[in-house]
Structure 1
Amino acid sequence: MTERATEPATPPATPPANQPAADQQAEPQSANASALLNEAMAKSGLLWIEVADDRTWPAWHVWDDGAALVVSGPGEQPLPWLPKEVRLILRSKDTGGRLLTVRAHVHVLEPGTPEWQRATELLRASRLNAVDDSLTRWAAECTVTALVPFDSPLESPGAYAAHDHREPPARTTATTTSWRPWHWGGRGEEKAERKRLRDEKKAARQAAKERAKLRKKRQRRGGRRRGR
Structure 2
Amino acid sequence: MSSGVLEEAIKKAAIAWISVDDGPAYALWCMPVESSLAVISGPGEQFAPGLAEARSATVRLRGDHGGLIVRAEATVSRLVPGSPEWDEIAPQLAGKRLNASGPAEQVVARWAADGCALVRLTPGADSMAGAADLPAESHAAPPRETPARVETRRPFRLHRVRKR
TM range (shorter): 0.7 to 0.9
Name the stretch that deviates more: 96-105 or 40-49: 40-49
- Does the 8 Å CA contact 2:16/2:62 hold for their aligned counterparts? yes
When Rg is computed on C-alpha atoms for both structures, the one with the higher figure is 1
Q: Which has the higher contact order (CA 8 A, sep 6+)?
A: 2
Identity among equivalent pairs (%): 34
1:71 is the counterpart of 2:40: yes
Output the TM-score relative to the length of structure 1: 0.61
Q: Indicate which of 91, 109, 128 corresponds to 1:121.
A: 91
SS across alignment from 1:165:
coil
Deviation for aligned residue 1:124: 1.2
Deviation for aligned residue 1:36: 1.3
Point out where structure 2 has 5 or more consecutive residues left out of the alignment: none
Q: Indicate which of 112, 118, 124 corresponds to 1:139.
A: 112
Distance, in Å, in 2 between the alignment partners of 1:175 and 1:84 is 33
RMSD: 2.6
Distance, in Å, in 2 between the alignment partners of 1:85 and 1:76 is 21
Equivalence for 1:108: 78
Normalized per residue, which structure has more strand?
A: 2
SS across alignment from 1:59:
strand
**Superposition pairs for residues 158-173 of structure 1, below 5 Å?**
158-161=132-135, 164-173=138-147
**Superposition pairs for residues 177-188 of structure 1, below 5 Å?**
188=154
Residue 188 to residue 49, structure 1, CA distance change in 2 (3 Å): same
Distance, in Å, in 1 between the alignment partners of 2:22 and 2:3 is 28
- Does the 8 Å CA contact 1:41/1:63 hold for their aligned counterparts? yes
Number of residue pairs matched by the alignment: 156
**Superposition pairs for residues 1-228 of structure 1, below 5 Å?**
33-82=2-51, 83-92=54-63, 94-130=64-100, 131-132=102-103, 133-141=106-114, 142-161=116-135, 164-175=138-149, 188=154, 190=156, 194=160
Point out where structure 1 has 5 or more consecutive residues left out of the alignment: 1-28, 181-186, 200-228
Q: Spell out, residue by residue over 1:75-124, the C-alpha distance to the aligned partner (whole angstroms, 9 max, x if none).
A: 211111222111100011x2211110001011111111001111101201
